[in-house]
């Protein structure tokens, strides 16, 4: 029973991480219609940014570090949009994919060159203090992860539904050409989308980094899992991506925890999201919660 609860918690944590990242990816894909292969690297850079401002449980308070890391990533997202995305907006999809793939390589190797390949840790006191209940232990850090993730999504939802900018984003995801006619500034929305997506990954990094190691290659698998979530969730549908992220996180955790009963090596747990994604693509090419898309 304890293992079960432990894995559920692991799964929810993973799910939160994936969700924050996948939502950003879904927004980019839905609003700007770009497949951002470097998205996992946003997370990685966010983790390093967090490590820079909060190297050893200080010197600044943790909440401030979270805000700072998020802010840095927001700026990064804006810069990325200007330098990389803007020139490729009107190019073919192959070019877009390759361009973002190229930036992914640049980021990973730059991180290696700057920070080395040895993993670093960014412990927080929250990660070390736990709450003990009858059935399970949970660190404050994890509770924070859940809490902040939930709040972030609520905030995002309100933003998209209620604000003018949010509505513009929704409009653009539905019909880009029409937006120009209605006076919606596509450039600004594009920058905004990247700012938000990047900010979300920065937030995710600040929350999750204390629980795991930070290394330059941490984003690679994450990109693909985020894609898996976006695809399963229905290609750009934010809510779908969130649900799918949690499904992936939980499946992964349960597979790792219980895999040995089925003789599956826990090393394979990374294959699960892809296996699921492949299956979903086979049987429901529009995603589990899909809206219809593309050819």
Partner 1 sequence: MKIPRILFWFCLVTFLAIFPLVVKTPYFIHIFILVGMYVIFALSYDLSVGQVGVLSLAHPAFFGVGAYTAAILSVNYDFPPLLCFLLGGILAAVLALGIGIPSFRLSQHSFAIGTLGFALIAELICRNWIDLTRGPMGIPGIPRPTLSIPYLFSWKVDTLTKFYYFMGILVLLGVGFYHTLVTSRIGRAFRSIREDEILAASAGVHILKYKMIAFISGAAMAGIIGVYYAYWYTLVSPEQLSLYYTTNLLIIVFLGGRGSLRGIVLGAFLFTALPEFLRITPQLRLILYGIILLFVVLYFPDGIERIFQRLTTPKKIISAFEKE
**Identity of the residue, 71 or 120, whose beta carbon is nearer to partner 1 in the bound complex:** 120
CA 223 vs CA 91, 131, 180, 278: distances in Å:
22, 32, 31, 15
Query: 197 near 28, Cβ under 8 Å?
Result: yes
The answer for residues whose C-beta is within 8 angstroms of residue 295's C-beta and 6 or more apart is none
Does position 262 bind partner 1 by CB under 8 A? no
Residue 88 found at the interface with partner 1 (CB under 8 A)? yes
Residues in binding contact with partner 1, number by CB under 8 A: 43
The CB-of-76 to partner 1 minimum distance in angstroms stands at 17
Q: Is residue 3 a contact partner of residue 257, using CB atoms and an 8 Å limit?
A: yes
- Could you say whether residue 4 binds partner 1 (CB under 8 A)? no
Residue 140: which of 210, 205, 202, 201 has the closest Cα? 210
With binding defined as CB under 8 A, does residue 267 bind partner 1?
Answer: yes
Count CB-CB contacts under 10 A for residue 106. Answer: 13
Nearer to partner 1, 60 or 278 (CB): 278
Q: Is there binding between residue 288 and partner 1 (CB under 8 A)? A: no
The least CB distance from residue 191 to partner 1, in Å, is 18
CA distance 75 to 196: 10
At its nearest, how many Å lie between partner 1 and the CB of residue 97?
A: 6
x/- letters, 203..242, toward partner 1 (CB under 8 A): -----------------xx--x--xx--x-----------
SS3 139: strand
- Give the Cα separation of 105 and 99 in Å (integer): 10
Distance in angstroms (rounded) separating the CA atoms of residues 123 and 227: 28
Residue 275 in the binding site for partner 1 (CB under 8 A): yes
The least CB distance from residue 103 to partner 1, in Å, is 6
Task: Tell me if 245 contacts partner 1 by CB under 8 A.
Answer: no
Identify whether the C-beta of residue 241 lies closer than 8 Å to the C-beta of residue 230.
Answer: yes
Residue 95, interface with partner 1 (CB under 8 A)? Answer: yes
CA distances from 57 to 121, 124, 199, 224, 236 (A): 10, 5, 22, 31, 36
Residues in the chain: 295
Residues numbered 29-58 forming contacts with partner 1, rule: CB under 8 A: 35
Q: Interaction with partner 1 in 101-160: which residues (CB under 8 A)?
A: 101-106, 108-110, 112-113
The one segment of 72-80, 155-163, 200-208, 264-272 that binds partner 1 by CB under 8 A: 264-272
Residue 260 binds to partner 1 (criterion: CB under 8 A): no
In which element (H, E) is residue 246 found? helix 238-258
Cβ proximity to partner 1, 220 vs 288, nearer residue:
220
The residues that touch partner 1, with contacts defined as CB under 8 A, are 35, 84, 87-88, 91, 93-95, 97-99, 101-106, 108-110, 112-113, 220-221, 224, 227-228, 231, 265, 267-268, 270-271, 274-275, 277-278, 281-282, 285, 293-295
């Amino acid at each position: 029973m304890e293992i079960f609860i432990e894995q559920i918690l692991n799964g929810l944590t993973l799910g939160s991480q994936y969700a924050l990242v996948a939502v950003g990816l879904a927004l980019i894909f839905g609003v700007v219609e770009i497949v951002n292969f470097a998205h996992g690297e946003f997370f990685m850079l966010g983790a390093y940014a967090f490590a820079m401002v909060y190297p050893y449980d200080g010197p600044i308070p943790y909440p401030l570090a979270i805000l700072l890391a998020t802010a840095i990533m927001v700026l990064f997202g804006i810069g990325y949009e200007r330098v990389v995305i803007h020139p490729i907006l009107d190019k073919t999809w192959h070019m877009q994919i390759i361009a973002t793939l190229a930036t992914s390589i640049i980021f990973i190797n730059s991180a290696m060159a700057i920070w080395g390949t040895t993993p670093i840790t960014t412990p927080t006191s929250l990660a070390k203090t736990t709450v003990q209940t009858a059935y399970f232990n949970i660190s404050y850090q994890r509770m924070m992860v859940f809490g902040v993730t939930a709040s972030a999504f609520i905030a995002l939802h309100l933003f998209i539904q209620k604000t003018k900018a949010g509505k513009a984003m929704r409009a653009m995801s539905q019909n880009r050409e029409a937006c120009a006619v209605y006076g919606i500034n596509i450039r600004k929305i594009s920058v905004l989308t990247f700012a938000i997506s990047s900010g979300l990954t920065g937030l995710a990094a600040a929350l999750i980094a204390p629980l795991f190691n930070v290394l330059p290659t941490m984003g690679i698998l994450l990109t693909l899992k985020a894609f898996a979530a976006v695809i399963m969730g229905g290609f750009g549908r934010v809510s779908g991506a969130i649900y799918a992220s949690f499904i992936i996180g939980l499946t992964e955790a349960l597979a790792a925890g219980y895999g040995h009963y089925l003789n599956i090596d826990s090393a394979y747990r990374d294959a699960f999201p892809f296996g699921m994604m492949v299956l979903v693509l086979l049987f429901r090419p529009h995603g589990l919660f899909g809206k219809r898309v593309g050819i």
